[in-house]
Amino acid sequence: MPSTPFGSPTPLSPSPGQKVVSKTLSATPLTVDLAGRSVSTWGYDGSVPGPLVRATAGDLLRLTLVNQLPADTTIHWHGIRLRNAADGVPGLTQDPVRPGGTFGYEFTAPDPGTYFFHPHVGVQLDRGLYAPMIIDEVADPGGYDTEWILLLDDWIDGTGTTPDDVLTKLIADGGTATGGMGGMDHGSMGGMSMGAAPWGDAGDVTYPLFLVNGKPPGDPDVLSAKRGDRVRLRVINAASDTIFTVALGGHSMTITHTDGHAVQPTQVSAFYIGMGERYDAIVTLADGVFPLVAKPFGKASGGQGLALVRTGSGTAPGPNANPSELSGQILIGSQLQPASSSLLPVKTPDATVDLALQGSMKPYQWGINGAPFGKNEPLTVAAGQRLRINATNMTMMTHPLHLHGHTFALPSGLRKDTVLMAPMQSLAIDLDADNVGDWMIHCHNIYHAEAGMMIALNYRR
Ligand code: C2O
Ligand code: CU
């Protein structure tokens, strides 16, 4: 195997008047305190989550990764429609960054929105290696007084195990594969049954803790503002294996964006958020102290993520706060309607491909189109085409399907880069092939992805 088939990407110079945003991000081992429990993990710049990267749409970003981990790594800028060489996928867009190595990610961030970044190596996302990325609008219409970023996570690293051990155990507990990927022709039941829940069997891993902004419910992040303030929430699910229901006790929320794209403002009391998805919402704050809860969907272990919103005096709700908003109607994000500014131009697809999500818990095998990544045939598209992907979930689990370097449109026109696909659901998603390169499409359950639930989408040359 050649040691550096990709080399360094071509440097970019700013175009006249283009602002440059530069930052160095060091990936290092570190220790974090989770409500008195000290855990060893890996993170960016010594904290979990890592530091915010913020720029304005159209800026040139120059982000340097310094790898001080005892393992190869990369950074993927999740949701950004960036140039292929900066996408962070080892073996597809770059060489892995070796321990002690550095890599310069240079790209223009064309679209405003709420994003995040994380490694694209193994199950490293399930450590503390994640951080928010906000691309501001050139002329933000505003309409809010404050903004809060909320990063949701499921946490197991350093609690007597590591994500790599978790994956090894999932594979071992799944038993020995006998028939290769033969079992992937049929959906098969996962381990647990969730009854009539919309997402079926929703997770593989039992997590001891759920974090909001790096903090467990025993020591929650406290977000303070004034009563009557309008706050823009930017909610990011950085978890590896957990779909959350999000609610703010005593409040309704008006969803304004998902995955960076504007939607028709929709008032909800709670919403689901899958791994890799983002939702922006506006809330008008009441007087008091309120729980912002991220309740894991379908996890036997219990527990939840919690932050506190404080505008006045009052007793803080405890770690198990259970706002009534969680038991009402819960929004399924793919049912939002797009804002007219977010629509793809009307066009008949030039090409159609099928994408079947397949696999099972026992054996622990996941793949797309009949085989795990590396053995499956890449999808292809020609530059300039409107591509329709007929995606089908042939399993009894829910999978967040994520596409790199583009956003797709659901049949309603709603633009997303990550969409939850319920068991046995079919969905036609359309994209404009306007960003030449080799891109990943995968399940954003990081254990499924690493077990093979990924496929490449290559532009024909
Ligand atoms: Cu956040 Cu390839 O993913
Ligand atoms: Cu999956």
Task: List the domain boundaries for the chain.
Answer: 20-140, 148-156+207-339, 343-459
pLDDT in the model for residue 197? 58
Q: Is there a cis peptide before residue 363, judged by omega within 30 degrees of 0?
A: yes
Find the 271 Cα to ligand 1 centroid distance in Å.
22
Q: Does ligand 1 have an atom closer than 6 angstroms to the CB of 215?
A: no
- Closest atom of ligand 1 to 440 CA is 2
CB distance 435 to 405 below 8 Å: yes
For residue 50, the model assigns a pLDDT of 98
CATH number for the region 148-156+207-339 comes to 2.60.40.420
Neighbours of 367 (CB within 10 A): 24
Q: Which pLDDT value is given to residue 3?
A: 53
Is 78's C-beta closer than 6 angstroms to any atom of ligand 1? yes
Residue 420 burial (C-beta neighbours within 10 Å; 0-12, 13-18, 19+) = buried
Nearest atom, ligand 1, residue 404 CA: 2
Distances (CA, A) of 107 to 13, 16, 25, 73, 76: 10, 15, 16, 19, 12
- Kindly report the pTM of this predicted structure: 0.95
The ligand whose atoms approach the alpha carbon of 115 most closely is 1
What gap in Å lies between CA 33 and CA 216, rounded to an integer?
A: 10
Assess whether the previous peptide bond of 372 is cis (omega < 30° from 0): no
Ligand nearest to the CA of 441: 1
CB of 314 within 8 A of CB of 297? no
Question: Does the CB atom of residue 120 touch ligand 1 within 6 A?
Answer: yes
Torsion 236-438-454-123 (CA) sign: negative
Q: What is the pLDDT of residue 461?
A: 79
Element (H, E) at 450: helix 446-451
In order along its 461 residues, the chain shows pLDDT tens digits of: 445 689 899 999 999 999 999 999 999 999 999 999 999 999 999 999 999 999 999 999 999 999 999 999 999 999 999 999 999 999 999 999 999 999 999 999 999 999 999 999 999 999 999 999 999 999 988 899 999 999 999 999 999 999 999 999 999 998 654 444 433 433 343 333 333 457 877 778 999 999 999 999 999 999 999 999 999 999 999 999 999 999 999 999 999 999 999 999 999 999 999 999 999 999 999 999 999 999 999 887 789 999 999 999 999 999 999 999 999 999 999 999 999 999 999 999 999 999 999 998 889 999 999 999 999 999 999 999 999 999 999 999 999 999 999 999 999 999 999 999 999 999 999 999 999 999 999 999 999 999 999 999 999 97
Ligand 2 centroid from CA 367, angstroms:
9
- Contacts (Cβ under 8 Å, ≥6 apart) of 35: 215, 216, 217, 218, 219
| Ligand 2 centroid from CA 160, angstroms | 25
pLDDT value at residue 329: 93
Alpha carbons 109 and 133: distance in angstroms, whole number? 11
Q: In ligand 1, which atom is closest to the CA atom of 276?
A: 1
Give ion ligand 2 contacts, CB < 5 A: 399, 443, 445, 448
Q: How far is the CA of 208 from the centre of ligand 1 (A)?
A: 24
- 76 in contact with ligand 1, CB cutoff 6 A: yes
81 CB near ligand 1 (under 6 Å)? no
In contact, 260 and 276? CB cutoff 8 Å: no
Give the ligand at the shortest distance from the Cα of 402. Answer: 1
CATH of 343-459, one of 1.20.120.1200, 2.10.60.10, 1.10.357.10, 2.60.40.420: 2.60.40.420
CB of 386 within 6 A of ligand 1: the answer is no
Architecture of domain 20-140: Sandwich (2.60)
Give whole-number Cα distances, 261 to 294, 312, 409, in Å. 22, 33, 11
Ligand nearest to the CA of 418: 1
Atom of ligand 1 nearest to the CA of 120: 2
Residue minimizing CA distance to atom 1 of ligand 1: 78
pLDDT value, residue 299? 86
Q: Using the atom order of ligand 1, give the atom closest to the CA of residue 116.
A: 1
* Cα 187 to Cα 421: distance, rounded to the nearest angstrom: 14
Ligand (nearest to CA of 445)? 2
Q: What angle is formed at CA 276 by the lines to CA 274 and CA 277, rounded to 5 degrees?
A: 60
Instruction: Please tell me the residue having the least CA distance from ligand 1 atom 3.
Output: 78
Please tell me if the CB atom of residue 442 comes closer than 6 angstroms to any atom of ligand 1. yes
Dihedral of CA atoms 64, 70, 74, 77 in degrees, nearest 10, equals -80
Burial class (CB in 10 A: 0-12, 13-18, 19+), 80: buried
Our answer on whether the CB atom of 448 is closer than 6 Å to any ligand 1 atom is no
**Other residues' Cβ atoms within 10 Å of the Cβ of residue 222:** 12
- Domains 20-140 and 148-156+207-339 are alike in CATH topology: yes
75 Cα–ligand 2 center, Å: 21
